[in-house]
Every structure is written in C-alpha cells, then in structure tokens.
Amino acid sequence: DAKTTQPTSMDCAEGRAANLPCNHSTISGNEYVYWYRQIHSQGPQYIIHGLKNNETNEMASLIITEDRKSSTLILPHATLRDTAVYYCIVRPAYSGAGSYQLTFGKGTKLSVIP
Amino acid sequence: GAGVSQSPRYKVAKRGQDVALRCDPISGHVSLFWYQQALGQGPEFLTYFQNEAQLDKSGLPSDRFFAERPEGSVSTLKIQRTQQEDSAVYLCASSSIRAGSYGYTFGSGTRLTVV
C-alpha cells in the first residue's frame, strides 16, 4: 500500500507557482521523500528528494515540515509542459531488502492552464 | 544512448500468445527494474536486477511472467500465454547506484494490448 496521500487533481495558472501537497504521516526516520512526475505517454521522471531539510534544484523545491509528516513540491513558475501526474513516494534511505522499490500511489494530476 | 530504451513501443497480442519486451538501460547502470502500469494507476513493481542477478521477483503476478538480464545489460520481460488482464504499460528503469537513494531513469514503456 502507498504510504502517502495526495489530492487527486489540481489546476494551476501558467506562470504561477504550483504547490503540490503530500501527507506521509507514518514516515519513518530513515525514509526519504521522493517526487516523480509522469507526462502523458512517457515514463516517470525523477524530480527531487529529501530527508528532512528543504531541497531545491533546477526543476523544483521540496519543503518538508519539521515533523516530517507532510511535504510540498513547489514548481515556481508552472508552464504548460508541467502538466503531468505527480507522485510523492517514501523510500528507505538504507540499501537493504525492499529499499529499491518505489511504491507509487495514484498521484496528483496537475493541469497547467493557459 | 542517453536514456533507457524500450522496444517495441506498442504491442498487440492475441490472447494466448507469448510476448517479449526489451529494455536497454543506460550504459553502465548496475540496477534494472521492471514495473507494470495499468490504465489510470501508478506503476507497480515487478522485478529487480543487480547486474545479471535477479534479486527480487516478488512483484511478478504469475509464473507466466519471466524476466532475464543474462549479461547484466539488456533485459527482456517475457509473458507467456497472455491474458487480457496483462494489458498494461510495462516500464523499465535503471540506476547507477546499487539500490541507492538516487532517482531512477525510466524508459517510455511498452504498451501491451491483449485482444
């Protein structure tokens, strides 16, 4: 079972920031939060991951609450090409049995509107 | 190539037919994964290779599904006696780190339709 809860869908105006929430209230201390997205007819694409500190890269920012029970993926200036399903995934940090699996839920379908 | 390549892109099989789906991972990637994605659902794990060794096949739905990676590079997912419920997109992913904490690179998948 997926260990995360995300809204089914969201809309965002082009050029505005898209803030995608994720609840992971049962996350363990050794689990990372990963975000992937899947554009129509393509495979999932890695976006960003974090453990407890906020992270930023060229694609997005990841804000993790202090208690680590929820996080928000921020796309600072959404474009039409950001229309996709966004998956929030928790995954163990250690390299042991089962740590390599990614357990996808249904994700959030983000529609960027012109 | 620069990414994970999967072929064919689309496959239509008659029920009962055997199919073979190919994955070319990024050169040098140690880890390789197969996922199955039904329509409207997120991908689900099928199996994991580290080099040529199949370390986990717990996600394979039945003994009709078989995967191999004999030389630690190209992998083939074979489905025998296909059924309609096998219709899905089959995704392959590879990683340069052994089960590490970096993101995986996925291919665009093979869409299998069983008629």
**Which pLDDT tens digit goes with each residue over A46-100?**
999 999 989 999 999 999 999 999 999 999 999 999 999 999 999 887 666 566 7
pLDDT at A92: 80
Specify whether the CB–CB gap between A70 and A24 falls below 8 A.
yes
Category of B51 on φ-ψ map: left (φ > 0), alpha (ψ -120 to 50) or beta = left
Of B93, B99, B105, the CB nearest to A99: B99
Does B71 score more than 60 pLDDT?
yes
Tell me if chain B has a CB within 8 Å of the CB of A77.
no
pLDDT at A2: 53
Helix ranges (H only) for A22-95 are none
pLDDT at B2: 78
Of B41, B101, B109, the CB nearest to A43: B109
DSSP labels, B53-103: EEEE-TT--STTEEEE-TTSS-EEEEESS--GGG-EEEEEEEESSTT-SSP
Q: Quick one: which H or E segment has residue B24? A: strand B19-24
Contacts of A101 in chain B (CB under 8 A): 45, 48, 56, 59
Quick one: closest CA in B to A34, which residue?
Answer: B103
Backbone angles phi, psi at A86, to 5 degrees: -110, 125
Quick one: closest CA in A to B106, which residue?
Answer: A43
Instruction: Rounding to the nearest 10 degrees, give the CA dihedral for residues B23, A89, A41, A10.
Output: 180
**Which pLDDT tens digit goes with each residue over B9-45?**
999 999 999 999 999 999 989 999 999 999 999 999 9
Q: Which of the residues B37, B48, B58, B106 would you substitute to probe the A interface, choosing the one with the greatest number of A C-beta atoms within 10 Å?
A: B106
- Cα separation, B94 vs A102, whole angstroms: 12
Sign of CA dihedral B79, B6, A49, A60: negative
